[in-house]
């Protein structure tokens, strides 16, 4: 057995706690500060008072502003990460609301012969799955659906079920496909991280329900705006109904702000406007590559942690072969005498992280660490991880 491992904290000031538990996308502030006018929105007091959209276009999602949906389509076209032609766009207050709307629509859809008086539909996702899925699924104790855990362990009984495919996956960054492959399965594809700053864009995604969010694409989590690209009209209508009944639509102010932000991203990506900030995705990729390089260096130097490896793939957007640089590090703790990795990071290093059990893992050696926070916090993460070594002792 190795001796206990340490963080050499002697004669040092108490460490300030840093929070890298949430994937708070403040890394992008640096870019947007430079983007200036192009990304600013002024909304006069008389605008956006009505519940209804400003442009009066007849949409299944009746509260969708045309300006926003036009920008969504243009951005996907330029990036090449999703098909939008002949698809319905439904917006939500973050993709979190659209996840719930999708569950409602799929589980109450008459086509699946699911009698709503019968037992709730199983909702599964492959471990390690995004930690919010279980809580968001079961929060309202719906009679229509219920969380049933790991898709790998799901016993397909030839009954309708829902599988959530998160790709690239939160927390581990891997590209995912459905794992159950049951005849009566319905799929929700959560593609929050399918953007060139995080992963190679290999083809335009084309699934029944695809969820995206400005939180991870442009970094505007506080705008609370997500969109779903939906193939089936009936499902799009049901999702719209869910949002109508829960929040009577989605903030118009947010839609206009997000449209402006997305236009700035699209133009920067096409180099139409050479604004000071440059190509948004170049900025994102460069920052993520730099962070992963520094993180991998620390991990290989001290041997105390390991990180996932990602297959190199051709990225259509950047026109080059590259590997993924996910927004989270799925860190495995190699220290034999450390029972659980979150207590090492939180207790000794004072870095708040999300422990593996939140993602359905029994094995407590994994933690998820956000890599999309501000530079000073990321540097503190690197500095503190480098104080741990596989051959030194832990002191309380």
Per CB under 6 A, does 372 bind ligand PMP?
no
Contact 97, 223 (CB under 8 A): no
Q: Which of 130, 114, 132 is nearest to 122 (CA)?
A: 114
- Per CB under 6 A, the segment of 88-96, 144-152, 363-371, 387-395 that binds ligand PMP is 88-96
Q: Does 255 bind ligand PMP (CB under 6 A)?
A: no
* Number of residues in contact with ligand PMP under rule CB under 6 A: 13
Based on CB atoms, which residue is closest to ligand PMP, 102 or 213? 213
By the rule CB under 6 A, 103 interacts with ligand PMP: no
163 binds ligand PMP (CB under 6 A): no
Quick one: which of 21, 95, 100, 223 contacts ligand PMP (CB under 6 A)?
95
The CB-of-24 to ligand PMP minimum distance in angstroms stands at: 9
Cβ atoms 114, 263 nearer than 8 A: no
Specify burial of residue 37 (Cβ count, 10 A radius: 0-12, 13-18, 19+).
exposed
Among 7, 91, 166, 298, interactor with ligand PMP by CB under 6 A:
166
Q: Are 102 and 234 in contact (CB under 8 A)?
A: no
Residue 125 lies near ligand PMP (rule: CB under 6 A): no
- Phi then psi dihedrals of residue 212, to 5 deg: -130, 165
Closest among 264, 258, 231, 229 to 31, alpha carbons compared: 264
Q: Which is nearer to ligand PMP, 96 or 142 (CB)?
A: 96
- Residue 57 is given by DSSP the state -
- 81 touching ligand PMP, by CB under 6 A: no
CB contact at 8 A, 145 and 100:
no
Helices (H), the chain: 29-35, 66-79, 94-107, 132-138, 214-217, 233-247, 252-269, 280-302, 341-343, 375-385
Shortest spacing between CB 212 and ligand PMP, in angstroms: 8
Site string for ligand PMP, 213-242 (x = CB under 6 A): x-x-----x----x----------------
- Sole binder of ligand PMP in the list 192, 201, 210, 353 (CB under 6 A): 192
Neighbouring CB atoms inside 10 A of 248's CB total 9
84, 170, 199, 387: residue in contact with ligand PMP (rule CB under 6 A): 170
In the complex, the residues that contact ligand PMP under the rule CB under 6 A are 23, 94-96, 130, 166, 170, 190, 192, 213, 215, 221, 226
């Amino acid at each position: 057995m190795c001796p206990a491992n340490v963080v050499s904290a002697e004669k040092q000031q108490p460490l300030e706690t840093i929070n890298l538990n949430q994937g708070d996308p403040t890394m992008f502030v640096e870019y947007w500060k430079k983007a200036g006018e192009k990304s600013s929105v002024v909304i006069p007091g008389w605008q956006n008072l009505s519940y209804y959209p400003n442009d009066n276009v007849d949409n299944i999602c009746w509260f969708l502003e045309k300006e926003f949906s036009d920008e969504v389509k243009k951005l996907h076209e330029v990036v090449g990460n999703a098909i939008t032609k002949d698809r319905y766009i439904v917006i939500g207050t973050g993709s979190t609301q659209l996840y719930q709307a999708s569950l409602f629509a799929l589980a109450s859809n008459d086509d699946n012969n699911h009698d709503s008086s019968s037992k709730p539909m199983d909702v599964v996702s492959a471990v390690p799955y995004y930690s919010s899925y279980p809580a968001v699924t079961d929060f309202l104790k719906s009679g229509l659906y219920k969380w049933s855990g790991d898709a790998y362990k799901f016993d397909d009984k030839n009954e309708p079920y829902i599988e959530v495919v998160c790709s690239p996956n939160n927390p581990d960054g891997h590209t995912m496909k459905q794992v159950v492959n049951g005849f009566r399965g319905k799929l929700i594809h959560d593609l929050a991280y399918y953007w060139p700053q995080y992963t190679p864009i290999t083809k335009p995604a084309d699934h029944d329900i695809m969820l995206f969010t400005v939180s991870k694409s442009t970094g505007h989590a506080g705008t609370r705006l997500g969109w779903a690209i939906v193939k089936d009209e009936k499902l799009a209508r049901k999702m719209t109904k869910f949002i109508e009944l829960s929040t009577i639509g989605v903030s118009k102010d947010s839609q206009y702000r997000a449209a402006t932000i997305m236009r700035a991203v699209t133009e920067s990506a096409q180099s139409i406007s050479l604004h000071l900030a440059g190509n948004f995705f170049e900025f994102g990729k460069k920052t993520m590559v730099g962070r992963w390089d520094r993180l991998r260096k620390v991990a290989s130097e001290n041997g105390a942690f390991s990180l996932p490896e990602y297959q190199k793939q051709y990225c259509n957007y950047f026109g080059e072969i590259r590997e993924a640089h996910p927004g989270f590090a799925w860190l495995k703790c190699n220290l034999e005498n450390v029972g659980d990795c979150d207590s090492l990071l939180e207790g000794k290093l004072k870095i708040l992280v999300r422990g593996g059990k939140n993602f359905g893992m029994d094995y407590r050696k994994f933690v998820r660490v956000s890599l999309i926070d501000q530079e000073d916090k990321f540097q503190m993460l690197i500095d503190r991880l480098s104080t741990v070594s596989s051959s030194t002792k832990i002191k309380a």
